[in-house]
Structure 1
Amino acid sequence: MLEQMLPQSRRAFLSQTGMLTTACAVAGLSGGMVREASAKSGDSGGEVLTKAVAERHYLLTGVRLEEGFEYDNDIVVATRTALYALEIKDGAIVALHPEKAALPEGLPRYEARGQLLLPSMRDMHIHLDKTFYGGPWQAPRPRQGKTIMDMIALEEKLLPQLLPTSQERAEGLIALLQSKGSTVARSHCNIDPVSGLKSLEHLQRALENHRDDFECEIVAFPQHGLLHSKVDGLMREAMQMGVQYVGGLDPTNVDAAMEKSLDAMFQIALDTGKGVDIHLHETSPAGVAAVNYMIDTVEKNPALHGKVTISHAFALTTLTPEQLEETASRMAEYKISIASTVPIGGLMMPLPQLTEKGVFVMTGTDSVIDHWSPFGSGDMLEKAYLYAQLYRGSDEFRLSRALSIATGGILPLDDQGKRAWPKVGDAASFTLAAASCSAEAVARVSARSATFHRGRLVAGAVDQA
């Protein structure tokens, strides 16, 4: 679950900044600059706001799209944009009409009021099945001096209290994610002796209620240890219920048998044809050994190539530059991805170095107001903001590139400044932001007014012309 790391002076400051941003996001606020832009874009001029788009074929006008970079010599100093009308049909973008072009007659029209179009965001590490969100305020118990086993013991007491409302709270979290621009997620779901398969059943019912407006993969997560809690059988049942990934947790610290635990996890995946997404928090030499063992296992089993994610992977922070380069190269070769929450603390995740070597890096919320952490906002744009701060990406170009960690690698402009998204034929999945360009949206965590998923308005509102 959410990582706990020792603070350093600069990162302690960033942590306070991040918490302030989270508080503002939850309250629906942001910086003065964003409020001003939002007010301007929200001036409906007598139009009627709508929270539903029922038509299968319609126009979304006044959409701001990025056109290219502006340079001072070879330095990117600004981003050019222009207004377009998106023609959307059956969940896809079928035409991009320039601002003054003649538009098709007879189509319903909705107005974006000059707001920036950003790709739909992806929360690729979250626990939708267990949260305090939607209920009365409850802070976590103190973590000081507590081990992972202590937290597991606490969770065994909490789960029976959470289960009766877990479906409703999961749907509340889905609505929160959508309001922040995310319509794609990967959720870990407890498989443990206390809840059995109930957490999974409740989560699947919640997702079924949102099958048209939210996409979510599920990881069967043995939170209390695959071996420690003896849930191999339950994990296999979960695979038969439609779960896409086999999860795991700290094979040395929790299961006390690194190779045996990892072998059991991989065997379930191989037997069922599923992928793997393991929580690995360990920073001891055992954590490095676990990473290497997993890479070796994937190398020997072609069926696992491109189907394994290591979440958190804090052991990578302990490698020398030479060791990291070798490990990252091997991970890239076998398409092993990383899911990181962009942690702030005493250990700096080498996310840019991994990306440079070709490792696909994703991000996610992890906890949203639960017994592990009270700070989760459900906002992937905020993760891009933290990424840019932590890795010194304060210029126009690097700010715009930081957005990719929140969108699954999709960016409006490629590195050369050519439009890469949206294109005709792309899914009509996006969010509208009160910003002039991607760089500003990342730096200011700009407010989002509407989120669309495959042509369907799933959060916020737009003007109806």
Structure 2
Amino acid sequence: MQFPYQLVAKRKYSLKNVHLETGFEYDEEEVISTKTDLFSIEIEEGKIKAVKANDPASDALDAKGFLMLPAFRDMHIHLDKTLYGLPWQALSPKRRTVKDMIAYEQQIIPELLKTSVDRAEQLISLLQHYGTHFARTHFNIDPTSGLKSLEHLEKSLDNKKNSFKAELVAFPQHGLYYTDTVALMKDVAQLKSVDFIGGLDPFSIDGNIEKVLDFTVQLALDHKKGIDIHLHEVGESGMKTINYLIDKAIENQQLQGKIFVSHAFALGHLSPKETEKIAERLAEGKVGIVSSVPFRGTMMPIPVLKRYGVNVLIGNDNVQDYWSTFGSGNMLQKANLIAELYGYETEFQLSRTLQFATQSILPLDDKGNRQWPGPGDDASVVLTNASCSAEAVARISKIEALMTEGNLFWRS
């Protein structure tokens, strides 16, 4: 997919006829609808400068009455390795385990790297098509890729720098010790462009939870990075890994709020009492969970985690690649899936579910007070053909315009 928008304004300008949510309509104590009104918005140097009464007669750019919402953020994706942009290819039934996939990657990565810059840009354009302006993207660090996955990804992001932003996770997809990746991880951890130290199933891949996590934590401490570990393991090894990371967070205050467990499928196989206990511990250590919202065999306890104050981030993960046939790249669809899976059906519940696409930024607080947008807020927004957040989530509304740090792109 080519970039679906055209740049129409940047730096300093105003918008008129912008619909913003202003409050909830109640029937006794029940929220039955969302109130909106038209406003004018002033943009300057990547920030929202002012939110004013609408002036339809002004010469400001016309937002055409579309609803303004915070732009979306995908907090777990692999921009460096995708089949998107290549001929259609469904998932192979021959590769069933992570180690099967590692062996397959070792075969195909050299050829994929030849076109990875262009394909990453196409995938970014797909995300932008659906209103995403920011991603936390993992990139392979392994003996087959060396630093080439990172180098190619950085080229793609540089080509998209005016419309898309990202934070980077160095991901030892082939294990730290299962393949000899330790030296590469030490090298990449020193780079300013890298924000997080990644990891993969320390027990099932490398055979030693403590050895892997001690190395990862020390690397993060030494270079002032965050940690984001892929953990597919369930049962004892999965829970031991999660608890070990919580212990490390409690021991090292500088890592609190900077450690994340991606997938964490083990949490979806606990009793209600066990779930509440681990949710309390995660909150204590300020360890976040990043989920692609699995279903069928695993249902993540997202409502319980949120109730205990755990930072839950959402991402697409795989978008039509050799790990998964599915994945749309649409964060609003992810919010819609969460609403359907967990029964968030009312106006109020649906409006709250938007947070999983925006990563916690909501136009209205729980009492219906407008809290976004305001002066000083990052000017990264979408304009969508919906009457309110609840409708946008329920109907996965079309995105008409995307603004990234004040650069406004309108669908062409």
- Compute the TM-score of the two structures, normalised by the length of structure 1: 0.85
Kindly report the root-mean-square deviation, in angstroms, between the aligned alpha carbons of the 2 structures. 1.6
Which residue in the other structure is 1:153 paired with? Answer: 103
Spell out, residue by residue over 1:206-252, the C-alpha distance to the aligned partner (whole angstroms, 9 max, x if none).
11222232221110001111121121110111122221110000111
- After superposition, the Cα gap between the structure-2 partners of 1:292 and 1:59, relative to the gap in structure 1 and judged at 3 Å, is same
Q: Residue 185 of structure 1: which of 120, 130, 135 is its match?
A: 135
User: Stretches of 4+ moved more than 6 A in 1?
Assistant: none
- After superposition, the Cα gap between the structure-2 partners of 1:459 and 1:248, relative to the gap in structure 1 and judged at 3 Å, is farther
Which residue in the other structure is 1:367 paired with? Answer: 318
Q: Residue 148 of structure 2: which of 183, 198, 201 is its match?
A: 198
Q: Tell me how far apart the structure 2 counterparts of residues 75 and 308 of structure 1 sit (CA, whole Å).
A: 38
Secondary structure of the 2:7 match is coil
1:328 has 2:284 as partner: no
The 8 Å contact of residues 180 and 448 in structure 1, kept in 2 or not, is answered as yes
The 8 Å contact of residues 128 and 402 in structure 2, kept in 1 or not, is answered as yes
Spell out, residue by residue over 1:397-454, the C-alpha distance to the aligned partner (whole angstroms, 9 max, x if none).
0000000011110001000000011112212110011100000000000011110011
Secondary structure of the 2:401 match is strand
- After superposition, the Cα gap between the structure-2 partners of 1:362 and 1:372, relative to the gap in structure 1 and judged at 3 Å, is same
Q: Residue 371 of structure 2: which of 420, 443, 461 is its match?
A: 420
Which residue in the other structure is 2:71 paired with? Answer: 120
Which residue in the other structure is 1:397 paired with? Answer: 348
Spell out, residue by residue over 1:289-333, the C-alpha distance to the aligned partner (whole angstroms, 9 max, x if none).
111111112111222111101000111112222222222122112
Q: Residue 173 of structure 2: which of 223, 227, 231 is its match?
A: 223
Secondary structure of the 2:250 match is helix
Percent identical among aligned pairs is 51
Q: Tell me how far apart the structure 1 counterparts of residues 336 and 411 of structure 2 sit (CA, whole Å).
A: 22
- After superposition, the Cα gap between the structure-2 partners of 1:102 and 1:93, relative to the gap in structure 1 and judged at 3 Å, is farther
Which residue in the other structure is 1:296 paired with? Answer: 247
Secondary structure of the 2:20 match is strand
Which is worse superposed, 318-327 or 148-157? 318-327
Letter in 1 for 2:322: H
Secondary structure of the 1:332 match is helix
- After superposition, the Cα gap between the structure-2 partners of 1:459 and 1:153, relative to the gap in structure 1 and judged at 3 Å, is farther
Q: Residue 452 of structure 1: which of 386, 403, 407 is its match?
A: 403
Q: Tell me how far apart the structure 1 counterparts of residues 11 and 245 of structure 2 sit (CA, whole Å).
A: 46
Q: Tell me how far apart the structure 2 counterparts of residues 115 and 180 of structure 1 sit (CA, whole Å).
A: 15
Q: Which consecutive residues of structure 1, in runs of 5 or more, have no partner in the other structure?
A: 1-25, 27-49
1:130 has 2:81 as partner: yes
C-alpha deviation, 1:284, in angstroms: 2.1
C-alpha deviation, 1:459, in angstroms: 5.6
The 8 Å contact of residues 140 and 372 in structure 1, kept in 2 or not, is answered as yes
The 8 Å contact of residues 16 and 55 in structure 2, kept in 1 or not, is answered as no
Q: Tell me how far apart the structure 2 counterparts of residues 410 and 422 of structure 1 sit (CA, whole Å).
A: 10
Letter in 1 for 2:27: D
Q: Tell me how far apart the structure 1 counterparts of residues 182 and 409 of structure 2 sit (CA, whole Å).
A: 37
The 8 Å contact of residues 178 and 459 in structure 1, kept in 2 or not, is answered as no
Letter in 1 for 2:374: K
Q: Tell me how far apart the structure 2 counterparts of residues 182 and 119 of structure 1 sit (CA, whole Å).
A: 10
Which residue in the other structure is 1:251 paired with? Answer: 202
Secondary structure of the 2:229 match is strand
Spell out, residue by residue over 1:27-51, the C-alpha distance to the aligned partner (whole angstroms, 9 max, x if none).
xxxxxxxxxxxxxxxxxxxxxxx82
Secondary structure of the 1:244 match is strand
1:386 has 2:341 as partner: no
The 8 Å contact of residues 66 and 383 in structure 2, kept in 1 or not, is answered as yes
Which residue in the other structure is 1:307 paired with? Answer: 258
Which residue in the other structure is 1:208 paired with? Answer: 158
C-alpha deviation, 1:102, in angstroms: 7.3
Q: Residue 95 of structure 1: which of 50, 64, 67 is its match?
A: 50
Which residue in the other structure is 1:269 paired with? Answer: 220
Letter in 1 for 2:274: Q
Q: Tell me how far apart the structure 1 counterparts of residues 376 and 56 of structure 2 sit (CA, whole Å).
A: 20
The 8 Å contact of residues 40 and 55 in structure 2, kept in 1 or not, is answered as no
Q: Tell me how far apart the structure 2 counterparts of residues 56 and 307 of structure 1 sit (CA, whole Å).
A: 32
Secondary structure of the 2:382 match is strand
- After superposition, the Cα gap between the structure-2 partners of 1:458 and 1:159, relative to the gap in structure 1 and judged at 3 Å, is farther
Which residue in the other structure is 2:31 paired with? Answer: 76
Within 5 A, what are the aligned runs for 1:333-344? Answer: 333-344=284-295
Letter in 2 for 1:156: Q
Secondary structure of the 2:8 match is coil
Which residue in the other structure is 2:60 paired with? Answer: 109
Which residue in the other structure is 1:174 paired with? Answer: 124
C-alpha deviation, 1:143, in angstroms: 5.5
Letter in 1 for 2:13: Y
Letter in 1 for 2:40: A
The 8 Å contact of residues 16 and 56 in structure 2, kept in 1 or not, is answered as no
Q: Residue 62 of structure 1: which of 13, 17, 20 is its match?
A: 17
Q: Tell me how far apart the structure 1 counterparts of residues 221 and 344 of structure 2 sit (CA, whole Å).
A: 40
The 8 Å contact of residues 432 and 449 in structure 1, kept in 2 or not, is answered as yes
- Compute the TM-score of the two structures, normalised by the length of structure 2: 0.96
Q: Tell me how far apart the structure 2 counterparts of residues 111 and 156 of structure 1 sit (CA, whole Å).
A: 51
Letter in 2 for 1:153: A
Letter in 1 for 2:146: G
Which is worse superposed, 328-337 or 309-318? 328-337
C-alpha deviation, 1:374, in angstroms: 2.2
The 8 Å contact of residues 412 and 419 in structure 1, kept in 2 or not, is answered as yes
Letter in 1 for 2:155: R
The 8 Å contact of residues 110 and 144 in structure 2, kept in 1 or not, is answered as yes
The 8 Å contact of residues 175 and 459 in structure 1, kept in 2 or not, is answered as no
Letter in 1 for 2:253: P
C-alpha deviation, 1:335, in angstroms: 1.4
C-alpha deviation, 1:364, in angstroms: 0.5
Which residue in the other structure is 1:232 paired with? Answer: 182
